[in-house]
Amino acid sequence: MLKGKKIILAVTGSIAAYKSALLCRELIKAGCEVKVVMTDAAQHFVSALTMSTLSANTVYSDWENGKSWTNHVDLGLWADLMIIAPATANTIAKMAQGQCDNMLMATYLSAKCPVIFAPAMDRDMWIHSATQHNIRTLLSYGHRMIPVGYGFLASGLTGDGRMAEPAEIVQYVTDFYTESLALAGKKIMITAGPTYEAIDPVRFIGNYSSGKMGYELAQVCAEHGGEVVLISGPSKLTVTHSNIKLIRVISAQEMYQAADVVFDTSDFVIFAAAVADYRPEHVAPNKIKKKEDNFSISLVKNIDIAATLGKRKKENQLMVGFALETDNEISHAIQKLHKKNMDFIVLNSLNDPGAGFMHDTNKITIIDNKGNEVSYGLKNKRDVAGDIVDYILKFKK
Ligand code: CTP
């Protein structure tokens, strides 16, 4: 799986840098081509000569750079993957902010490949809000983190702040490549966000959906190698992954028109949008002035995008929907599953604290059309998206 992969191993100044030498050797053993970039601080813990000997390549560093010009852009473009191990709190902060004060950061900023980082620091630094904030920022860039204490989780010991063991990092990278092929060649359409239904030029009927769940699903599908079309209602979020094509729409009708075009060529379709069920019958051409004490707007039903497209779903297509319910959750979700011809439906109940709109977390139950029902714990939406994509991958028609 790793044979022939071109890897930049970036080493920063932590005591865990000694493990990078072993990591380098493991990667070479697995058939990778490794080029090492080190900070000056890292060289207090492991020498450039060691890393150069193990990688059988020149080591890139600021010291070396003082003697000869090294093109960090070429190095960034050469790589299939950049592994930053150990990643210190300082380097993590610089990555979050895009600072460029050494060869390692210059390489990082010019790299076009996926980035995996393995933090290493003491516990207090790790739990500091600033570090945690920076970590969230890096995850939002689509980078992967090998959690601190990763190697300790299995052993039952506590390992807060400790870098994962080299063998575990290699395993993580292998899993990364295995999973990154799981949706290769598949086309995935995802609807996300709220819809805004215009009342007049300055007002609309909308809902509190942030779009987060749909955007996370798009990211996870893209990371698994899928070709994603994300049709999003108004959302502050954006996408960075090159496998995601973002189509922005405003209203339910626009969302339907976009989905109608993309649907037939999609292998998997996920309806994660919170579509407004009704829209004003008439949109006032000018701002409505305040006059009467009571004012009412006549509403007409919007098209049900999932139900309409579900009618022409083909044998080889898989359709996933969402249901956000406040009462009789399971039976309402099952009704929607069948009415809209879905393969499975993801239920989130507004009665669960931390689930649904306006939260970074979600708690779901998946109900499929074969009668299976699986409940998951409260997780961040990225991990929830991972569970949903795993369900898609395991789902046999
Ligand atoms: N959906 C859709 N188009 C609509 C309404 C809903 O595609 N006009 C999709 C949603 O994206 C979701 C599923 O249908 O995957 C269920 O949405 P939900 O709002 O929970 O259900 P509704 O059918 O609108 O029923 P109700 O609002 O009465 O609960």
- What whole-number percentage of the chain has pLDDT above 90? 76
* 259 Cα nearest atom in ligand 1: 7
Closest C-alpha among 339, 185, 343 to residue 265: 185
311 CA from centroid of ligand 1 (Å): 15
69 pLDDT exceeds 70? no
| Residue 320 to residue 183: CA distance in whole angstroms | 16
State the pTM of this model.
Answer: 0.75
Kindly state the DSSP code that residue 328 receives in the 8-state scheme: S
Q: Cβ of 160: how many Cβ atoms within 10 Å?
A: 13
340 CA from centroid of ligand 1 (Å): 9
Mean pLDDT value of segment 289-316: 96
186 CA from centroid of ligand 1 (Å): 25
Is 176 close to ligand 1, i.e. is its CB under 6 Å away?
Answer: no
- φ, ψ of residue 86 to 5 degrees: the values are -75, 150
142 pLDDT exceeds 90? no
4 dihedral zone (left: phi>0; alpha: psi -120 to 50; beta)? left
For 239-286, what is each residue's pLDDT tens digit? 988 899 999 999 999 999 999 999 999 999 999 999 999 999 999 999
| pLDDT score, position 155 | 44
Q: Counting Cβ atoms within 10 Å, is residue 321 exposed (0-12), middle (13-18) or buried (19+)?
A: buried
Contacts of 62 (CB under 8 A, 6+ apart): 39, 40, 102, 103
Domains recognised in the chain with CATH numbers: 6-179 (3.40.50.1950), 187-395 (3.40.50.10300)
Whether residue 102 lies in the annotated active site:
no
Long-range residue pairs from 131-136, CB within 8 A, at least 24 positions apart, any chain: 131/89, 131/92, 131/93, 133/96, 134/89, 134/92, 134/93, 134/95, 134/96, 135/92
Higher pLDDT, 108 or 68: 108
* 272 Cα nearest atom in ligand 1: 11
304 CA from centroid of ligand 1 (Å): 7
Q: Among the options 57, 65, 207, 243, which is catalytic? A: 207
Residue having the nearest C-alpha atom to atom 14 of ligand 1 = 306
